[in-house]
């Protein structure tokens, strides 16, 4: 009896602690700050719109989306999916997040624009954000305000450089660019492989600390830390962590004086997922992990789940004052705002077609949100009564090797189809005739043990589900550079002018159709 009580107490104690990964979803390239008792975190969302998400937490574990630094990065063909151009895997990359003299700064850079972008606000949760940008695009930069009021950016890969910015961060002070560290990869022995990048510069107790990620050839992703007594150097470096490939991030402290390092791990189809490791200090160096390892549990509150803070269901009903779209949603590239609505038919998302497209990945106005691990299900109820010939509407798992389940209309008749791009080309795997105008669609993701498998289903009553097509493998591919995302889509291949109405999108952290 005593043993049983002890086991229960032990299990309960474990349940009250946070576990790694902190967020089992695609939240890469994090930057983090603490203001008082509140933590804020930014991340990468590349080609998606809106972008540069801001998340909030009071315990480092439970996060919720509160803002985006920009609505659209730029209005160019590549961001708009026009004139045959796209910017998959590009757009805006690793951000930097700072709080200085009452102003929040979120910065990023983009190959798509060739510029460095800086967004500033007094209210990080409500905005508005003031945007400035300048050339060039400073790769993986870290914005840094020094104690003397001067402001810098550290950037680059392998050979890291520093440049001073104007006091109002509107541009670069001419003639201030110089090499900061000649070969930042050296501590990890990187001859070939990923050179040191992902800079995060901070100052603790008068010393400067610079975090980078390297990936030595034949090895794993590695945290490299440099420190110096003065910004000009000299800098000394060492390996900060080499375990499970958990790397790239920086340091954060708690109000009660504890330290953690926030990092992420490549985890297949779900994407790059955040981890926390405890930090102690020894001889002026941050020591990451427990005996050099990433712990499974942390002395932090347990997660309450990623729903609804990171992903969420949506009934598409809006009350006065509600946002048109909750923050969990992002468009695949810039949307055409004339061709979607949540007000034309109350309680529905309407996706209208305004042009013809040749493929799903070139179509505009696909509305997406993250998949989550270790498993998840997304489902929708779709009214296809206003499709016209050549239209295709439905539910997707979006990445380069995507899968779709939806309704195609051809010659006045409709069919439920499942399409797989697992081979690199879109192939229709199964077609089922459809004689009604409302259908239920479902996609399941299984990321357990790196299965990275997606399955698709349909239903005519929302209760009895039938598998369609074949399961897809969901590899993480560099061309898209993000984890798989659920997407609601509708595009025309023959004539614009049709539309599809989505009654809801429901997300679950379970596989609801599988035994």
**Predicted local distance difference test score (pLDDT) of residue 490:** 98
Q: 119-124: long-range contacts (C-beta < 8 A, 24 or more apart)? A: 119/52, 119/69, 119/70, 120/169, 124/40, 124/54, 124/66, 124/67
**Predicted local distance difference test score (pLDDT) of residue 189:** 84
- Determine if the peptide bond prior to 467 is cis (ω within 30°): no
Query: Does 131 score more than 70 pLDDT?
Result: yes
Band (pLDDT 50/70/90 cuts) for residue 244 is very high
Please tell me the chain's helix, strand, coil percentages from 3-state DSSP, rounded to the nearest 5: 5, 50, 45
Percent of the chain with pLDDT over 90: 94
Average pLDDT over residues 80-93: 97
**Predicted local distance difference test score (pLDDT) of residue 4:** 42
- Determine if the peptide bond prior to 128 is cis (ω within 30°): yes
Band (pLDDT 50/70/90 cuts) for residue 456 is very high
Evaluate whether 377 touches 513 at the Cβ level (below 8 Å): yes
Band (pLDDT 50/70/90 cuts) for residue 191 is low
Evaluate whether 193 touches 215 at the Cβ level (below 8 Å): yes
- Determine if the peptide bond prior to 159 is cis (ω within 30°): no
Query: Does 12 score more than 50 pLDDT?
Result: no
Q: Tell me the C-alpha distance between 426 and 408, whole Å.
A: 14
Token pair belonging to 194: 């990923």
pLDDT tens for residues 495-508? 999 999 999 999 99
Query: Does 21 score more than 80 pLDDT?
Result: yes
Average pLDDT over residues 164-168: 96
How many C-alpha atoms does 261 have within 13 Å on its Cβ side?
Answer: 36
Q: Tell me the C-alpha distance between 272 and 181, whole Å.
A: 27
**Predicted local distance difference test score (pLDDT) of residue 190:** 62
Token pair belonging to 295: 């712990």
| Class of residue 205 by CB neighbours under 10 A (exposed 0-12, middle 13-18, buried 19+) | exposed
Phi-psi region of 58 (alpha: psi -120 to 50; beta: other; left: phi over 0): alpha
Band (pLDDT 50/70/90 cuts) for residue 16 is confident
Q: Exposure string (b/e) for 485-495, b if CB count within 10 Å is 16 or more? A: bbbbbbbbbee
Q: How many residues does the chain have?
A: 515
Q: Tell me the C-alpha distance between 47 and 79, whole Å.
A: 7
Band (pLDDT 50/70/90 cuts) for residue 464 is very high
225 three-class SS:
strand
Which has the closest alpha carbon to 140: 184, 176, 79, 170?
Answer: 184
Beta strands in 424-471 (DSSP E): 427-434, 438-446, 453-459, 466-467
Please name the residue that has the structure tokens 């102003």.
103
Distances (CA, A) of 390 to 373, 407, 494, 499: 35, 10, 5, 12
Residue 399 main-chain phi, psi, to 5 deg: -165, -175
Which has the closest alpha carbon to 120: 169, 162, 79, 185?
Answer: 169
Band (pLDDT 50/70/90 cuts) for residue 513 is low
pLDDT tens for residues 340-360? 999 999 999 999 999 999 999
pLDDT tens for residues 103-127? 999 999 999 999 999 999 999 999 9
Query: Does 470 score more than 60 pLDDT?
Result: yes
Query: Does 338 score more than 90 pLDDT?
Result: yes
92 three-class SS:
strand
Query: Does 215 score more than 80 pLDDT?
Result: yes
Token pair belonging to 413: 């008749």
Evaluate whether 307 touches 369 at the Cβ level (below 8 Å): no
pLDDT tens for residues 275-324? 999 999 999 999 999 999 999 999 999 999 999 999 999 999 999 999 99
Token pair belonging to 308: 């609804």
Query: Does 15 score more than 90 pLDDT?
Result: no
pLDDT tens for residues 427-442? 999 999 999 999 999 9
Q: Considering the entire predicted model, what is its pTM?
A: 0.95
Q: Tell me the C-alpha distance between 105 and 326, whole Å.
A: 23
Which has the closest alpha carbon to 417: 393, 450, 436?
Answer: 393
Average pLDDT over residues 374-398: 98
Token pair belonging to 450: 């790196």
Query: Does 41 score more than 80 pLDDT?
Result: yes
Q: Are strands 48-49 and 38-42 parallel, antiparallel or unpaired?
A: unpaired
Q: Exposure string (b/e) for 372-394, b if CB count within 10 Å is 16 or more? A: bbbbbbbbbbbbbebbebbbbbb
Q: Tell me the C-alpha distance between 328 and 45, whole Å.
A: 12
Which has the closest alpha carbon to 505: 409, 373, 366?
Answer: 366
Band (pLDDT 50/70/90 cuts) for residue 50 is very high
Band (pLDDT 50/70/90 cuts) for residue 13 is very low
**Predicted local distance difference test score (pLDDT) of residue 5:** 41
Average pLDDT over residues 37-57: 98
Average pLDDT over residues 241-267: 98
Query: Does 130 score more than 80 pLDDT?
Result: yes
Mean pLDDT of the chain: 95
Query: Does 57 score more than 50 pLDDT?
Result: yes
Which has the closest alpha carbon to 61: 99, 17, 110?
Answer: 17
How many C-alpha atoms does 292 have within 13 Å on its Cβ side?
Answer: 4
Q: Tell me the C-alpha distance between 462 and 513, whole Å.
A: 11
Residue 389 makes CB contacts below 8 A (sequence gap 6+) with 409, 410, 411, 412, 494, 495
Band (pLDDT 50/70/90 cuts) for residue 218 is confident
**Predicted local distance difference test score (pLDDT) of residue 217:** 87
Element (H, E) at 24: none
């Amino acid at each position: 009896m005593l043993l049983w009580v002890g086991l229960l107490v032990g299990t309960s104690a474990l349940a009250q602690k946070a576990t790694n990964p902190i967020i089992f979803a695609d939240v890469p390239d994090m930057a983090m700050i603490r203001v008082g008792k509140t933590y804020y975190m930014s991340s990468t969302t590349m080609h998606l719109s809106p972008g540069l998400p801001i998340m909030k937490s009071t315990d480092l574990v439970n996060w919720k989306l509160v803002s985006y630094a920009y609505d659209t990065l730029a209005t160019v063909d590549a961001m708009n999916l026009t004139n045959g151009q796209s910017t998959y895997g590009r757009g805006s990359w690793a951000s930097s997040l700072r709080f200085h003299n009452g102003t929040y700064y979120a910065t990023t850079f983009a190959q798509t624009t060739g510029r460095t972008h800086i967004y500033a606000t007094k209210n990080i949760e409500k905005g508005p954000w003031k945007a400035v940008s300048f050339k060039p695009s400073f790769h993986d930069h870290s914005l840094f305000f020094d104690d003397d009021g001067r402001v810098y950016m550290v950037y680059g890969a392998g050979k890291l450089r520093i440049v001073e910015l104007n006091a109002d961060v509107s541009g670069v002070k001419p003639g201030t660019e110089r090499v900061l560290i000649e070969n930042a990869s050296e501590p990890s022995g990187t001859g070939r492989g990923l050179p040191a990048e992902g800079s995060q510069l901070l100052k603790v107790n008068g010393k400067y600390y610079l975090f980078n990620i390297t990936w030595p050839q034949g090895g794993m992703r590695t945290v490299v830390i440099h420190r110096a007594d003065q910004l000009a150097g000299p800098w000394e470096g060492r390996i900060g962590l080499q375990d499970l490939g958990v790397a790239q991030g920086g340091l954060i402290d708690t109000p009660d004086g504890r330290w953690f390092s926030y990092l992420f791990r490549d985890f297949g189809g779900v994407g790059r997922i955040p981890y926390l490791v405890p930090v102690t200090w020894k001889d002026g160096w941050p020591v990451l992990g427990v005996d050099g390892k990433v712990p499974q549990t942390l002395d932090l509150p347990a997660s309450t789940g990623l729903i609804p803070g990171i992903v969420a269901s949506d009934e598409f009903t809006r009350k006065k004052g509600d946002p048109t779209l909750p923050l969990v949603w992002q468009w695949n590239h810039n949307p055409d705002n004339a061709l979607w609505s949540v007000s034309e038919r109350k309680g529905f998302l309407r996706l209208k077609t305004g042009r013809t497209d040749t493929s799903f990945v070139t179509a505009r106005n696909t509305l997406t949100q993250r998949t989550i691990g270790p498993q998840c299900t997304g489902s929708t109820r779709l009214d296809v009564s206003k499709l016209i010939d050549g239209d295709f509407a439905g539910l997707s798992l979006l990445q380069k090797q995507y899968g779709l389940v939806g309704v195609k209309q051809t010659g006045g008749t409709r069919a439920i189809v499942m399409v797989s791009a697992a081979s690199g080309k879109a192939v229709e795997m199964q077609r089922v005739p459809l004689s009604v105008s409302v259908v239920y669609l479902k996609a399941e993701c299984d990321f357990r043990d790196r299965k990275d498998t997606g399955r698709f289903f349909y239903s005519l009553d929302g209760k009895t589900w039938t598998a369609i097509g074949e399961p897809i493998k969901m590899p993480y591919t560099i061309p898209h550079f993000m984890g798989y995302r659920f997407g609601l889509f509708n595009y025309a291949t023959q004539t614009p002018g049709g539309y599809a109405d989505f009654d809801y999108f429901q997300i679950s952290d379970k596989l609801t159709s599988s035994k």
